[in-house]
Structure 1
């Protein structure tokens, strides 16, 4: 069980981290865009 989960964990973590960075950039762009309007 432990050996099976080990390879999956880094991929899942990497994916979620990649998504987090993507969402962070998206939110930053939206904030800058909204700030530019005001």
Structure 2
């Protein structure tokens, strides 16, 4: 019981970290693209 609960918690934590990283990289990519577009103009 306790072991499966620990596994479930760690899996949700890993998923949360992955989502946070994906969001951060996606946001920084959009910011970089907008900076490049401003340079071209």
Cα RMSD, aligned residues only = 1.2
Structure 1 outlier segments of 4+, above 4 Å = none
Count residues in correspondence.
37
What TM-score, normalized by structure 2, do the two folds share? 0.81
- Which structure 2 segments of 5+ residues have no match? none
| TM-score, with structure 1 as normaliser | 0.86
Structure 1: runs of 5 or more not aligned: none
Which of the pair has more CA radius of gyration?
A: 2
